[in-house]
Amino acid sequence: MKIINSIKELKQSLKTEREKGKETGFVPTMGALHAGHLSLMKRSVEENDISVASIFVNPTQFNDKNDLATYPRTLEKDCELLEAVGCDYVFVPEESEMYPEPDTRVFRLGRVAEVMEGAHHPGHFNGLHRSSVNCLRW
């Protein structure tokens, strides 16, 4: 399993895999992996030639800086778990890699942003959507 920190390196690695005709699966996470994450990665491994996980604690998903500061960061353990289930690449970017400049985009996500997690963490889904859109740059 290869750990990659830059978008440029990940793009190049995946381009090489695609040129070989390989299909890629992607499991985005913020780390602190649990059985649910691992089941998604196992499914990706079963259904794809190459499986990629991201571990990025996305600051734009936290409206409380204390929650961001105390979010568990267990990279070494997470990588061991991912490798054990067959993950090929782990993308672990720094914040500056994902947000090279301030991101002030606001997405209108409707009711989903107002119930469950959204009701307790205003802005959570907007940050999640920002991160997802950034991944499309790959």
**Cα(82)–Cα(31) distance, rounded to whole angstroms?**
10
**Number of Cβ within a 10 Å radius of residue 83:** 13
Q: Distance between terminal CA atoms of the chain?
A: 19
Name every residue whose Cβ is closer than 8 Å to that of residue 128 and which is 6 or more positions away in sequence. Answer: 58, 61
The catalytic residue among 37, 120, 121, 129 is 37
Residue 37 among the catalytic residues: yes
Find where tokens 């604690």 sit: 57
Residues annotated as catalytic are: 37
